[in-house]
Amino acid sequence: MDSLELIKAAITAVDPSKSAKLAGITAKTEIRELGMDSVATMEMVGFLEEKLETQFSDEVMIRIQTFGDLMALVEKSKNG
């Protein structure tokens, strides 16, 4: 599963109501554009951490603005 598909799976798992918006997501799409609240966002991150068997630091997560940023973080985690 590629990074974007994994992120989409995480979003769908924590907030199925957002699944209709996922088709138009690109690397340049800002995460806040989905309208996820902070709890759903943290659950999404937890889902990704569990699937990737890693933990993202708060310092890194603060800088994540777009899906491209998140995809790069996922890829980095996949590659060690």
Domains, the chain, with CATH or none: 3-78 (1.10.1200.10)
pLDDT at 57: 92
Which pLDDT tens digit goes with each residue over 7-41?
999 999 999 999 889 998 999 999 889 998 888 88
Rounded CA-CA distance 79/29 in Å is 24
28 contacts: CB under 8 Å, gap ≥ 6: 66, 67, 68
pTM: 0.87
Residue 5 predicted with pLDDT over 90: yes
